[in-house]
């Protein structure tokens, strides 16, 4: 059991107030839990930047959690593996035929892009640990721009095939799904979780929303959904844009993707969920409880939770992921990274912050989480801002985390 010191809450509250008064970040929330219960949750600001008449940030504020969706999708897939309904060695093309003949792209920035047929096949295990070779294209990308395949309208007739076509065409007229390397040989960040979500749908005969609701969200009392329903929309935090150093409300550009529940036909396991971070913290607390063998009616086995914290990458993959982290977050540790079958891992302590063995990740629009089983805590942070991975946002997270760890005491 872990608790905040008597002055811990006051220190966190004071930091939140100071940052809010400085006016350098959009509205945000920060929450912390142990396996025994929530130990802190607070927020500052409003759902619409510079609009004090809009709702105040609160535990019930709803966010587009983007890539924080991935952890949830992978837990669902690991449940199917444990039940024997999915095999890690099965070719992914058995469920998604468009993956039958992928190609290795030599240089995505070349004109024209050249490629060669892949020798290895993409297996389910490659989707689980981001070693399939499927990658988010950087050609034409910017921190302010959603990827075209995510931003595109959803087909009413064959939304999955349409999505695969968008991936295949993202670098031009390629003869197959583009890969950065031979499946299983390296790490890259990309479309794998979306494909894994489509596999779950094929295996279960249910769309991903229905499956996740039945097996994760409903048992935990979470309102998380792929659909921005009127109830969720009433609590939704509007995106803030930093333009020429000034924070302004989102004006609809860039296009972020389909948001009308009536038009959502493609359930994207890599990016598509809306959630309050209080609900996401509920999930993290439940996972800590399973890990500590304290859970009542667990949604999955301890073996699955332990799998979330087990490194899977070879040396090449570790090098690639470490380079990616160095580019993403200047406040993170300079080394000590791995990837499990679901999420990122720290293999070394971050000074005055999370410990080795922590699982963590983030979302494109400014949501973050970590689970530190060694310290017995999990935490969430959330705002909605572009450009992604803003310096002020990352600096605040580091300061909050340092303040938190300085205040933790054994219960």
Write down which residue in 148, 175, 204 finishes a domain: 204
DSSP secondary structure letters along 67-79: GGHHHHHHHHHHH
Residue 21: per-residue pLDDT? 93
Beta bridge partners of 116: 104
Residue 111: per-residue pLDDT? 87
Q: How far apart are CA 87 and CA 98, in angstroms?
A: 19
* Pair 273, 381 in one domain: yes
Cα distances (Å, whole numbers) of residue 157 to 147, 163, 265: 22, 12, 9
* Contacts of 84 by beta carbon, 8 Å cutoff, 6+ apart: none
Angle (nearest 5°) at CA 331 between 329 and 333: 90
Q: Which residue has the tokens 């721009």?
A: 145
* Pair 179, 120 in one domain: yes
Residue 6: per-residue pLDDT? 87
Helices (H), 186-329: 192-204, 208-212, 218-220, 230-233, 277-291, 302-308, 315-328
* Pair 324, 353 in one domain: yes
* Pair 142, 276 in one domain: no
Cα distances (Å, whole numbers) of residue 365 to 170, 238, 386: 22, 11, 6
pLDDT in tens, the chain (411 residues): 899 998 999 999 999 999 999 999 999 999 999 999 999 999 999 999 999 999 999 999 999 999 999 999 999 999 999 999 999 999 999 999 999 999 999 889 988 899 999 999 999 999 999 999 999 998 877 777 889 999 999 999 999 999 999 999 999 889 999 999 999 999 999 999 999 999 999 999 999 999 999 999 999 999 999 999 999 999 999 999 998 889 999 988 778 889 899 999 999 999 999 999 999 999 999 999 999 999 999 999 999 999 999 999 999 999 999 999 999 999 998 889 999 999 999 999 999 999 999 999 999 999 999 999 999 999 999 999 999 999 999 999 999 999 999 999 987
Q: Which residue has the tokens 């973050």?
A: 368
Mean pLDDT of the chain: 96
Q: How far apart are CA 216 and CA 220, in angstroms?
A: 6
Residue 11: per-residue pLDDT? 98
Peptide bond into 229 cis (omega under 30): no
| pLDDT tens-place string over residues 78-133 | 999 999 999 999 999 999 999 999 999 988 998 889 999 999 999 999 999 999 99
Among 65, 61, 99, smallest CA distance to 270 is for 65
Parallel/antiparallel/unpaired status of strands 240-243 and 385-386: parallel
Q: How far apart are CA 29 and CA 56, in angstroms?
A: 10
pTM for the whole thing?
A: 0.97
* Pair 261, 137 in one domain: no
Q: How far apart are CA 295 and CA 50, in angstroms?
A: 42
CATH code for position 252: 3.40.710.10
Write down which residue in 204, 223, 255 finishes a domain: 204
Cα distances (Å, whole numbers) of residue 71 to 126, 248, 256, 344: 15, 31, 21, 10
Q: What is the token pair recorded at 49?
A: 């930047």
Q: What is the token pair recorded at 175?
A: 């003869």
* Pair 324, 251 in one domain: yes
Per the structure, the count of domains in the chain is 2
Write down which residue in 177, 204, 231 finishes a domain: 204
| pLDDT tens-place string over residues 323-373 | 999 999 999 988 899 999 999 999 999 999 999 999 999 999 999 999 999
* Pair 59, 142 in one domain: no
* Pair 48, 174 in one domain: no
* Pair 225, 361 in one domain: yes
* Pair 128, 156 in one domain: yes
* Pair 55, 137 in one domain: no
For residue 289, the enclosing domain spans 2-69+208-410
Handedness of CA 175, 189, 159, 87 (dihedral sign): positive
* Pair 45, 115 in one domain: no
Residue 145: per-residue pLDDT? 82
């Amino acid at each position: 059991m872990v608790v905040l010191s008597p002055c811990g809450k006051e220190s966190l509250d004071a930091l939140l107030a100071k940052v809010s008064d400085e006016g350098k970040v959009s509205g945000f929330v920060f929450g912390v839990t142990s396996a025994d219960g929530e130990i802190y949750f607070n927020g500052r600001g409003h759902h619409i930047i510079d609009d004090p008449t809009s709702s105040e940030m609160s535990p019930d504020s709803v966010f587009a959690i983007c890539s924080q969706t991935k952890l949830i999708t992978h837990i669902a897939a690991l449940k199917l593996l444990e039940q024997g309904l999915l095999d890690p060695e099965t070719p992914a093309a058995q469920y998604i035929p468009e993956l039958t003949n992928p190609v290795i792209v030599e240089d995505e920035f070349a004109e024209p892009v050249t490629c060669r047929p892949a020798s290895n096949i993409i297996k389910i295990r490659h989707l689980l640990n981001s070693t399939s070779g499927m990658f988010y294209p950087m050609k034409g990308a910017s921190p302010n721009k959603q990827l075209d395949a995510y931003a595109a309208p959803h087909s009413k007739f064959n939304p999955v095939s349409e999505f695969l076509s968008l991936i295949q065409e993202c670098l031009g007229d390629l003869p197959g799904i583009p890969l950065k390397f031979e499946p299983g040989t390296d790490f890259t960040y990309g479309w794998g979780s979306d494909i894994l979500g489509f596999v779950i749908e094929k295996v279960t005969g249910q769309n991903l929303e229905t499956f996740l609701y039945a097996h994760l969200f409903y048992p935990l009392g979470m309102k998380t959904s792929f659909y921005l329903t009127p109830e969720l929309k009433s609590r939704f935090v509007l995106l803030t844009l930093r333009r020429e150093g000034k924070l302004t409300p989102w004006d609809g550009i860039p296009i972020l993707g389909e948001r009308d529940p009536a038009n959502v036909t493609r359930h994207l396991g890599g990016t598509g969920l809306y959630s309050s971070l209080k609900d996401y913290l509920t999930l993290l607390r439940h996972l800590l409880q399973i890990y500590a063998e304290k859970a009542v009616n667990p949604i999955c086995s301890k073996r699955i939770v332990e799998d979330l914290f087990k490194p899977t990458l070879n040396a090449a993959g570790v090098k690639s992921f470490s380079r990616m982290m160095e580019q993403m977050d200047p406040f993170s540790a300079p080394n000590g990274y791995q990837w499990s079958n679901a999420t990122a891992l720290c293999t070394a302590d971050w000074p005055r912050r999370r410990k080795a063995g922590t699982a963590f990740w983030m979302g494109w629009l400014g949501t973050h989480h970590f689970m530190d089983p060694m310290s017995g805590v999990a935490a969430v942070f959330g705002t909605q801002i572009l450009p992604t991975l803003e310096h002020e946002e990352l600096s605040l997270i580091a300061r909050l985390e340092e303040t938190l760890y300085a205040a933790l005491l054994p219960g």
